[in-house]
Structure 1
Amino acid sequence: MKSILIAAVVGLVVSILLTPYLIKVFSRQGFGQEIRDDGPQTHLKKRGTPTMGGTAIIIAMWAGYIVSIGVQMAGGGAGPTASGWLLLYLTTGLGTVGLLDDYIKIRRQRSLGLNKRAKLIGQTFIAVSYGVLALMFKNGKGLAPASEHLSYARDLKFITFGAIGFVVFAILVIAAWSNAVNFTDGLDGLAAGSSVMVLGTYVFICFYQFRNACPIPGITSDMTAAALNGCYSVRDPLDIAVVAAGALGGCVGFLWWNAHPARIFMGDSGSLALGGLIAGLSILSKTELLTVVIAGLAVVEMLSVVVQIAVYKTRKVRVFKMAPFHHHFEVGGWTETTVMVRFWLLAAMSAALGAALFYTDWLSRTGG
């Protein structure tokens, strides 16, 4: 538990101190956000607000993880694990793609950055390499960071992808979550605030998996039959929780400067990175289906865009006044702060429900 707290505190301190420095540097360089002309008119005044603030979250996540692991090793504990490195790689890789996207928007002074093909190639490369590597590096229990099964609160043994099928599945999961968080990032503090709740839930889940990990095969365990029935076969759950805690602290520190009225935006460098982190957490903790509930707000935001496009192309009718979903309420007269707070509440309820479902699954297996 100490390592998780260290990662969260370090992530918070680094982010809350680094972000104002980035605001000054990006403002001096003219790295201001371009605003889409067809968006809510109240957003036009935000044009020129520094962007690419997601770099602060990524740096804070790395700092939290490295310091936590360093303290752990100094006390005779284990060092970094394959799962931790993979999660950092996926988050940073997608953040880099987003950073390039943000930079092109700024330099060309438009609301669109990388073209669709370039962005897809970047995301696919990161996702494929992550998927391949996640099936390697087995530990003493014979566990790789990821498994070839679909999962809910643990692996569903009756649904198997195979190695190639898993890599394809990983590409789809990573693309879906990175774009879902990207759609959510449309109001001051919305993506960062909702991500705090999702990451907090994953800190709880992964720590619980660590405390109830299955013993090494062939070694006698003093666990009761009920505990063995409910144990988790997850590689490096504590390390995954540490990465999540570092990112959580980073999001909280960034939110201090990103809350309405935002002095900096996270940009695609932040939204793609956080989406990739959520996807990576779902795969490594074996909770892929449960994540749909935990991060339910991002799912709703993405579905609103899909429905809007699909219905308009087939029937030339708009279901929402504007998509993503949060803009529908803005155009309808809600203030930005009202939308943000109410959507935070929805994100909190969704994350709490996901945590409850996870715990309920454990109780059903242990007879609790």
Structure 2
Amino acid sequence: MKVYLTLLLVAALVAYAATPAMRHLARRVGAVTAVRARDVHTQPVARLGGVAIYLGIAGALVVASTVSFLSPVFEASHAPWGVLAGAGLVCALGFADDVWDLDWMAKLAGQILAALLMASGGVQLVTVPIAGLTIGSSYLSLSATVVVVVVAINAVNFVDGLDGLAAGMITIGGLAFFTYTYLLARSATPGDYSSLASLVLAVLVGACLGFLPHNLHPARIFMGDSGSMVLGLMIAAAAIIVTGQIDPTVVSERERIPAFIPIVLPLMVVAVPLIDMGAAVIRRTLKGQSPFTPDAHHLHHLLLRAGHSHRWAVTVLYLWTAVLSFGTVSMVFLSTAGAIAVLSTGILLSSLITFSPGLRQGVSRAWRSVGRRAAPLREKVTPEGRALPDVNPEESS
């Protein structure tokens, strides 16, 4: 566990240190989000924060390759480098989109190429952890891998609409997912706790944590597509690795870990983005529009229109992610009845906070007060954001 926590810290420090440089670069190359009708920010904000997230991930993986504890992970296959290469490709694609605004077909083609690149490195969906099912066809296996990666990438991309939302949700869900993969590795291979899935999740969570101080409301920088696509690909990679490299049916017989969790848990981690994406696709299709046509009807827009403050709308979505992901992981520690009780209680409390006007307003006021008190500290830890020079929105178009 100490190794993973150390690598998490490395990723966080690299991402944190690289973000101000990316903010400066974004302003130099015109990667700045102007104020549009569907946006909630009130002044132009630099993008390219995702490049800092990728640098945190890459730096931590390079350090990990030198750690003897993780040598089995790097010696077994080229999968760690396949994940890094796939993430690098979507990061470069997102960089180009943040600067030149690519059309959706070009981005989709790039996402498919990234999935294929990662699959060529050994990260490919070959088994389904239910009754030991195996995907017999190599073409079907490759197709399933591409679908999982592309869906995850676009789900995270769709939900990235409020300051700190995507990075915070992936941090919360990633921690829950990491808890499961670490326990699964301990149970499946006693004496050797090294796990590629745990490594991927540790560096992903660390990079998100390093980026968050710069991205919390009011954000000094956005991650842009260069970040949201990297987050989606990394979560998909962890899910594919778990289903393909560890046989949870053997573990569940010995440790009572439900065999279906490798499928359910990744879905719970990105449940909110998946719901948002699904609703957007249906909504736009019924209107005769492209599923990729932007609008102002995402979940976070609905929460803002319902009266939530910016910070509290983000917190509500954090809360739902925590309830769904950690509620699922609780099945590892508790009986089925106990886990269902925990999940049901979490859903009830989350529903009250989301839909009860009085409770919502009271907690929202308290949260705003916390945000005001934390502002001076934030100025100290993100000094590059103290002065935000004016930007002509036309320069970023």
Shorter-chain TM-score range: 0.7 to 0.9
CA positional deviation for 1:279 = 0.9
Residue aligned with 2:188, SS: coil
The percent of aligned pairs where both chains have the same amino acid is 25
For the residues of structure 1 that align with 2:264 and 2:35, how far apart are their CA atoms?
A: 34
Partner of 1:122: 110
Equivalent-residue separation in structure 2 for 1:353 and 1:76 (angstroms): 29
Of structures 1 and 2, the one scoring higher in RCO (CA 8 A, sep 6+) is: 1
Residue 207 (1) aligns with residue 182 (2):
yes
Shift of 1:175: 1.0
The C-alpha deviation readout for 1:287-332, integer Å capped at 9, x for no partner, is 2443112221211221221232244349xxxxxx942211122234
Whole-Å separation in 2 of the counterparts to 1:332 and 1:79: 47
1:114 is paired with a residue whose SS is: coil
8 Å Cα contact 2:8/2:205 also seen in 1: yes
Aligned positions of 1:112-261 closer than 5 A: 113-134=101-122, 145-151=123-129, 156-158=131-133, 160-214=135-189, 238-261=195-218
Q: Determine whether 1:32 maps to 2:32.
A: yes
- In 2, Cα distance between the equivalents of 1:66 and 1:339? 36
The 1:164/1:256 distance shift into structure 2, 3 A limit, reads: same
Matched-pair contact (CA < 8 Å) for 2:170–2:269 = no
RMSD: 2.8
Distance 1:312 1:238, change over 3 A: same
Distance 2:20 2:226 in 1: 17
| Gap regions ≥5 residues in structure 1 | 105-112, 135-144, 216-222, 224-234, 315-320, 364-368
Q: Which residue of 2 aligns with 1:298?
A: 273
What is the number of residues matched between the two proteins? 312
CA contact (8 A) 2:18 2:52 kept: yes
Secondary structure (helix, strand or coil) at the match of 1:285 reads helix
Corresponding residue number in structure 2 for 1:366: none
The yes-or-no answer on 1:55 pairing with 2:12 is: no
Displacement after TM superposition at 1:236 (Å): 8.9
Aligned twin of 2:23: 23
Matched, 1:80 2:74: yes
- Normalising by the residue count of structure 1, what TM-score does the alignment of the two structures yield? 0.77
Q: Report if aligned partners of 1:87, 1:240 keep a CA contact under 8 Å in 2.
A: no
Over 3 Å counting, the alpha-carbon distance change for 1:360 and 1:335 in structure 2 is same
Alpha-carbon contact 2:47-2:221 (below 8 Å) kept: yes
Equivalent in the alignment of 1:268: 225
> Take 1:28 and 1:127, find their aligned partners in 2: how far apart are those partners?
31
Q: 1:279-298 residue pairs with structure 2 within 5 A? A: 279-286=236-243, 287-298=262-273
1:197 partner letter: I
AA of the residue aligned to 1:202: F
User: How far apart, in 2, do the equivalents of 1:29 and 1:130 lie?
Assistant: 29
1:3–1:304 CA distance, 2 compared to 1 (3 A)? same
Aligned equivalents of 1:361 and 1:83: distance in 2?
34
For 1:242-269, what per-residue CA distance to the aligned partner results, in whole angstroms no more than 9, with x for missing partners? 2321121110110000000000000000
Give me the whole-angstrom Cα distance separating, in 2, the residues matched to 1:206 and 1:361: 19
Report the more deviating stretch, 250-259 or 341-350: 341-350
Q: 1:277 aligns with which of 199, 220, 234?
A: 234
1:344 paired residue number: 318
**90 and 202 in structure 1: CA distance in 2 versus 1, 3 angstrom threshold:** farther
Q: Is the 8 A contact 1:132 1:167 kept in 2?
A: no
- Runs of 5+ in structure 2 lacking a partner? 244-261, 290-294, 338-397
Q: Which residue of 2 aligns with 1:318?
A: none
Match of 1:65 in 2: 61
CA contact 1:6–1:64 (8 Å) conserved in 2: no
Counterparts of 1:129 and 1:331 in 2: how far apart (Å)?
41
Q: Is the 8 A contact 1:96 1:269 kept in 2?
A: yes
**Are the equivalent residues in 1 in contact too, given 2:182–2:193 (CA < 8 A)?**
no
More helix by proportion, 1 or 2?
A: 2
TM-score by length of 2: 0.71
* Distance in structure 1 (CA, Å) of the matches to 2:62 and 2:163: 29
| Distance change (3 Å), C-alpha of 1:93 and 1:61 | same
- Alpha-carbon separation, structure 2, partners of 1:237 and 1:169: 26
Q: Partner residue of 2:303?
A: 329
Distance (Å, rounded) in 1 between the aligned partners of 2:3 and 2:51 = 23
Indicate conservation of the 8 Å contact 1:184/1:191, yes or no.
yes
